[in-house]
A and B are shown apart, each in its own frame.
Chain A
């Protein structure tokens, strides 16, 4: 809400000693937060000038500037010379003006807040520019900022003070009004809060005497009284539409961010700003038959004042005459019945509409207006007759004619309600000891509430415009606002003793440290993706991961939904890093991916008057998509960099698997690896990560086409694992140490097997061949002579040990033989 300060001062008896800054600070503490103080800070010689000459001069840079001589009045002009008349020379880049035009000139020494600096004489384009010809934007005025402000011919003389002329000394408070304070969308409401904030008496500008009605003003039929509880009409006749808007009204409208259009429209808007009641002025000659308030019919259309032809919804509330709709109620009117420069007979409408009806219509049509904004937030429902009267009186005062004696009022609203609360509730909830009953009563009366103390209870009747005071705690807020939020003391509560981080929270941190410890740099990416991403990953057309949770309103059509794999974002990051010249990149992300649940129902909307049952909550959770926490990683370039002590070690598929193994290790879970073939991985270099028989992730080398699609070097690797699954499998306590103090026996076994035999499986089998085998480790892998074609030599260190004695030669030989036998039986392995 933009509040002209002089208007606010006129409506209150605020002492002139209170500065605008103090006023703003006090209102901010009163829940009317200052966004900014607009205007009023121009200093120095800002004057009217008449352009004498303007010579276009093309410049090397392609621009054409105007070299102007401007008459800025005898007081400021440089004397005439042989070549030029008295005036100042000014360079100007704009072209929307010419000789003879009246413009605004900021002479050297002028400070324009919108520019942020003081204007000086300066050499530019080969001239000394002795000031600046101003645009509306440079002057901080609203409206078209594209060119120089050209004044009406004859509206001023050169040298006149433009600050005074344009009202630039007027300050405006731009206040942020919270949605619960609809009343503050009016000067009336802001003035009342100002008076309360400074402890001043307040005279309500809405205390307007309305004469007894003698007849109907203009007939009205309200078909939907719930949506339109009050509808008032009043008439003015003999109005002179040619009369100008008084300067003060026009200026205040502009300060409030509106345009001055014509006297009738300006008065209508002015009263809306003053009292907060949106109203409408119709040309009585254009209305056919009674005004009818009804819901839209199917297929009905309306062209609103913004020239948009709108298909109406049956929920839309319309103002109609016999020829159809003349306005979307409470939002915007239609051109057909508007006031024009021939209108002499005016029908004034002031109505009250249901807040939700207007809010929905405004949202449905994506049409916000000054009126809709106020109706949505709540307008005083008892104000309509007085507001219509105020409009009529102002029209007559400034436009002539007379207010017709008739008055039409359809409907009435009874907003009276009592809020009952314990007298000590404000003190208890605010935590401010000084709030006693008297303080509470005073604060509430200042808010125009009726207050009564009834034993231990406070009975509060809020005024009709306070839609926000319904509950005891609402009353507490109003009291605290007056007492002051700065009065709240600081008391640290004693929490009841928490159990610290949950196991899952601790383990998640462990995962983060493990990834960083493995040399991976954590990144964060937006979880949005689309088919183009999945194409780049090479996902098949029937790949599950193409099924996304889609969004109604995605930011970009290319990313219509949530991602199903962190690799969409991570590979983009990898690509960015490569593009920025990083040769070796190791990055990871931990975040959620989203998978729609097939056949999930819609999430129910429960009431809010009670807690939903556990069953109801379960239904709600069942509707949500799966959103498992996932860890993902991408490595490329060298895993270890080359240096003075040796060459680098390039990233290989095994590095991707190693990251998964590290995660499994730090969580004490057993993850095994199986060969797999899945996009976006190389079909022969992809490991499935298996936990308890279930595939929980994949790791390996990226498919060469995928690496290419992302602009990554060949052999880049990646991995992704369902972290929730790993966390769920992590034991409460890690394994206990279990080792024997008896001597170890070491045996090396080298086998020749067919190349198709998985080395991991053979190693696993050897480890289980005898209870005496403590560990098995592959230490050599060899192909080539003398190993036959299609075969491979695998050499293992086998360590044997018993728990309770030193192994005998026979025991060692037995275990060795068992291992060899098993390798032969299960894998066709022959001892080398």
Chain B
């Protein structure tokens, strides 16, 4: 650093003139602003901030000024250097961020590429419908009961008021286990589960029994030797047909929608008296006069057959050890396979049983 030079008129030291400092600052700022990479910024820093930069050199000249001029010049240069440093920091952040963005941009992939290496599993709709219906009952405070598929003849028939010569017994198309004298069958309905429950528990009883049942039907588009049912049984004090209707209406709404109701038609089942067939209001046309005539689901009837039901025959209660003087109850049953085929418009029942993975896949893990 050179010694103070008293001969100099301070205002006449060129690098410290206000306009000169301003120019050096502006050049520095322009160079920093123009730098668009870390490299360019480094260069700008050397040229405009480093030891040999004009502002650094100007700073050195301050000492040469007379004391009274130093303050003002020092301030002027200090402010300019501060502005430049600030701009450099800001610009460095910016450029680093831009470089990072560029790097990420370069890493971009085609996200539309197919991602299908992992196999996708699915649950059979007959499984999920059983779960779904079970959940509806559980939400009503009912329980789910189960039993064996190869069942004693006594439980499948006799205990349910289907004596050995009952005509309905021959109508059931029963698979008999060899030898016939073993008195065992493939259960023709899930009703033996109801009998088992009454035999082992005391009322009140509110149970639903979903499950697989068997009839000697050759498989074709509308028949299968194996199908699925859900049956319900309620035994309590003071139960009537009205409670049966209320339960079925609730179930119909839960499965088919809030506006679906049921109707009773008289019928006959040995284990119920009175007995009824229950029909559902057609869930496609809602028996709407404008649509019903052409409705493929109900074939113009406005109603769809759903299942059988009735008040539990006291003879069944007696065989199962329930006091018919104190308790009454109701029971009902409906097929689940047809619920699937009709709701999903499946023309051939065999599709449920072939095992073609394309049948199950669309159902995913729930309906």
Which chain A residues have a beta carbon within 8 Å of chain B's beta carbons? Answer: 28-31, 33, 178-181, 355-356, 359-360, 363, 376-377, 428-432, 471-474, 476-477, 480-481, 485-486, 488-502, 505, 509, 512-513, 515-528, 549-555, 561-562, 569-570, 572-574, 576-577, 580, 582, 584-587, 590-592, 594, 602-612, 617, 620, 623-625, 627, 639-645, 648
The answer to whether A620 and B250 touch across the interface, beta carbons within 8 angstroms, is no
B123 surroundings in chain A (CB, below 8 A):
512-513, 516, 522
Contact indicator A29/B117 (Cβ below 8 Å):
no
Q: Are the C-beta atoms of B218 and A608 separated by less than 8 Å?
A: no
User: Separation in Å of the B361 CB from the closest CB of chain A?
Assistant: 6
Which of B167, B244, B321 is A376 in contact with, Cβ under 8 Å?
B167
**Distance in angstroms between the alpha carbons of A500 and B165 in the assembled complex:** 39
Q: Which chain B residue has the least Cβ–Cβ distance from A28?
A: B265
A642 contact set on B, CB distance < 8 A: 117
Minimal Cβ-Cβ distance residue in B for A562: B150
Q: CA–CA, A238 to B177, complex, Å?
A: 57
Q: Helix, strand, loop or mixed for chain B's interface?
A: mixed
* CB-based contact A641/B242 at 8 Å: no
Given A473-B311, A476-B273: A31 in contact with B268 (beta carbons within 8 A): yes
Cross-interface CB contact of A612 among B167, B199, B268, B315, cutoff 8 Å:
B199
Q: Which of B61-69, B168-176, B283-291 contacts A (4 or more CB under 8 A)?
A: B168-176
Interface residues of B in 207-257 (CB under 8 A from A): 212, 216, 218-219, 224-226, 234, 236, 238-247, 249-250
Residues of B within 8 A of A640 (CB): 117-119
CB distance from B189 to the nearest CB of A (A): 16
Among B116, B204, B274, the most chain A Cβ lie within 10 Å of the Cβ of B274
CB <8 Å contact, A428 and B199: no
Q: Mark B75-117, 1 if CB is under 8 A from A, else 0.
A: 0000000000000000000000000000000000000011011
Q: Judge whether A515 and B121 touch: CB under 8 Å.
A: yes
Residues of B within 8 A of A609 (CB): 318-319
Decide: A471 and B273 in contact? CB cutoff 8 A: yes
Complex CA gap A473/B328 in Å reads 11
**A610, B204: Cβ atoms closer than 8 Å:** no
Do residues B155 and A620 form an inter-chain contact, with CB atoms below 8 A? yes
Of B142, B249, B276, B321, the residue contacting A610 (CB under 8 A) is B321
B318-A29 in contact (CB<8A): no
Please state if A489 and B177 are interface contacts (CB–CB under 8 Å). Answer: no
Q: Are A489 and B245 in contact (CB under 8 A)?
A: yes
Taken together as a complex, chains A and B put the C-alpha atoms of A481 and B266 apart, in Å, by 7
A552 B153 Cβ-Cβ under 8 A:
no
**Are B183's CB and A603's CB within 8 A?**
yes
- Choose among B134, B176, B276 the residue that contacts A485 (Cβ–Cβ < 8 A): B276
Is the CB of B138 closer than 8 A to any CB of chain A?
A: yes
For A528, the closest partner residue in chain B by CB is B225
A497 nearest CB neighbor, chain B only:
B141
**A473:B314 contact, CB within 8 angstroms:** yes
Q: Are B357 and A577 neighbours in the complex by a CB distance under 8 Å? A: yes
Q: Which of A499, A509, A620, A641 has the most CB of B within 10 A?
A: A620
Number of B positions contacting A (CB below 8 A):
106
Contact, CB under 8 Å: A602 / B242: no
**Does B39 sit within 8 A of A, measured CB to CB?**
no
Question: A552-B176, A608-B161 are contacts. A495–B365 as well, Cβ < 8 Å?
Answer: no
A117–B238 alpha-carbon span in the complex (Å): 54
Q: Establish whether residues A496 and B150, one from each chain, have CB atoms under 8 Å apart when the complex forms.
A: no
Partner of B142, one of A495, A525, A643: A495
Checking B149, B167, B218, B267 against A592 with a beta-carbon cut-off of 8 angstroms, the contacting residue is B149
Among A499, A515, A624, the residue within 8 A (CB) of B148 is A624
> A594 to B138, alpha carbons, bound, how many Å?
30
A524-B126 CB under 8 A given contacts A431-B241, A555-B218: yes
From A377, A488, A623, residue with most partner B Cβ within 10 Å: A488
Q: Are B152 and A519 in contact (CB under 8 A)?
A: no
Question: Using Cβ atoms and an 8 Å threshold, which residues of chain B touch A604?
Answer: 152, 154, 183
A493 and B274 in contact, given A524-B352, A602-B181 (Cβ under 8 angstroms): no
**Are A523 and B124 CB-contacts (below 8 A) given A360-B165, A471-B273?**
yes
**CA separation between A607 and B154, bound complex, in Å?**
9
Measured CA separation A585–B234 after assembly (Å): 44
Q: Which residues of B contact A430 (CB under 8 A)?
A: 240-242, 274
Q: Mark B316-330, 1 if CB is under 8 A from A, else 0.
A: 001111000000100
For the complex of A and B, 6 pairs with smallest distance between CB atoms: A611-B321, A573-B355, A431-B242, A519-B119, A431-B240, A178-B268
- Separation of A270 and B276 alpha carbons in the complex (Å): 32
Asked if B143 and A428 make an inter-chain contact with CB atoms under 8 angstroms apart, the answer reads no
Task: Judge whether A576 and B354 touch: CB under 8 Å.
Answer: yes
Q: Are A522 and B360 in contact (CB under 8 A)?
A: yes
Query: Chain A contacts of B134 at CB under 8 A?
Result: 501, 505
Decide yes or no: A551 and B177 within 8 Å by CB, A609-B318, A627-B148 being known contacts.
Answer: yes
Q: Assess the B264–A477 pair: CB atoms within 8 A.
A: no
For B273, what are the chain A residues with a Cβ–Cβ distance below 8 Å?
Answer: 471, 473-474, 476-477
Q: How far is the CA of A573 from the CA of B273 in the complex (A)?
A: 43
When chains A and B are docked, how far (Å) is the Cα of A519 from the Cα of B123? 10
7 example contacts (A-B, Cβ-Cβ < 8 A) are as follows: A428-B240, A473-B273, A492-B243, A524-B353, A551-B178, A552-B176, A576-B356
Contact B242 A491 (CB under 8 A): yes
Query: With A495-B140, A608-B318 as given contacts, are A513 and B241 in contact (CB-CB < 8 Å)?
Result: no
CA distance A604 to B234 in the complex (A): 27
Known A430-B274, A492-B247; contact A522-B124, beta-carbon cutoff 8 A: yes
Closest chain B CB from A101 CB (angstroms): 39
Task: Find out whether the CB atom of B266 lies under 8 angstroms from the CB atom of A485.
Answer: yes
What is the distance, in angstroms, from A655's C-beta to the closest C-beta of chain B?
10
Taking a contact as CB atoms under 8 Å apart, the answer to whether A585 and B184 are in contact is no
B144 and A502 contact, CB distance less than 8 A: yes
B20 part of interface (Cβ distance < 8 Å): no
